[in-house]
Amino acid sequence: MKYLIAFFIIGLLCSACKRVENNNCSKENKLIDSLQTETSNLRKELAEFKSKKQTRTSNHEDFDSFLYSFMTDSLFQLRRTKFPLMFIHWKDYLPGDKIDTSYYEKDNWKHRWFYMIGYGEIPQLYDNYKMELRPTNERLLHFTGVETGTNSKYYFKLIDKKWYLIKMENLGD
């Protein structure tokens, strides 16, 4: 009889715990769904804004918008990199007199964050005091550091109205 009462009490406790657990999971799932919906809506608004901006300003992709997507979205970066990607660097990756060239294949590519980690702004070179870029189909993103020895260059090219990374160079210390 004691075992039957104990078994009955344990069953009631387990049932109550499952209801509480399911209720908490339900609240968390609703919150996650709400956040996913909001994120999706914001992405749609951003895409519409970019589309309107691009239509007003030119007939090709805006470089700044491209670069932000390129840095933050690993799949976008993979699609917008021309493979095999030429990579110019010091021979044996040690600073010296000899420069070597290797190539990244799509299979061994790792997402590059560029300035998102450790840098405060995008270095940009303008060719006049009005801070306007000439309408060319090339951009160079260049990071240099006097005290750090950083010297990295990323070459982008406009191909079929879309920007692509076509070459990298790292000849820093």
Q: Are residues 48 and 65 in the same domain?
A: no
How many domains does one find in the chain?
A: 2
- Give the CATH number for residue 159: 3.10.450.410
Mean pLDDT check: name the lowest of 30-39, 119-128, 145-154: 119-128
Query: Pick from 18, 35, 57: which residue ends a domain?
Result: 57
Q: Are residues 80 and 133 in the same domain?
A: yes
User: Given this model, what pLDDT does residue 55 score?
Assistant: 46
User: Given this model, what pLDDT does residue 99 score?
Assistant: 95
User: Given this model, what pLDDT does residue 120 score?
Assistant: 46
Question: Structure tokens of 123?
Answer: 């270095």
Question: Pick the residue with more confidence: 39 or 91?
Answer: 91
Question: Structure tokens of 30?
Answer: 């609703």
Q: Are residues 88 and 6 in the same domain?
A: no
Half-sphere exposure of 29 (CA within 13 A, CB side): 6
Query: Pick from 10, 31, 57: which residue ends a domain?
Result: 57
Q: Are residues 81 and 163 in the same domain?
A: yes
Q: What is the pLDDT of residues 52-105, one digit of tens each?
A: 555 445 688 998 899 999 989 999 999 999 999 999 999 988 888 899 999 999
Q: Are residues 53 and 79 in the same domain?
A: no
Domain of 163 in residue numbering reads as: 60-170
Q: Are residues 130 and 144 in the same domain?
A: yes
Q: What is the mean pLDDT of residues 32-58?
A: 67
Provide, rounded to the nearest whole percent, the portion of the chain with pLDDT above 70. 69
pTM score of the predicted model: 0.61
Q: How far apart are CA 104 and CA 83, in angstroms?
A: 7
User: Given this model, what pLDDT does residue 73 score?
Assistant: 94
Q: Are residues 152 and 79 in the same domain?
A: yes
Tracing tokens 């560029």 back to the chain, one arrives at 114
DSSP-derived secondary structure letter, 118: T
pLDDT band of 8, cuts 50, 70, 90: low
The candidate with the shortest Cα–Cα distance to 142, out of 156, 154, 132, is: 154
Q: Are residues 37 and 66 in the same domain?
A: no
User: Given this model, what pLDDT does residue 149 score?
Assistant: 77
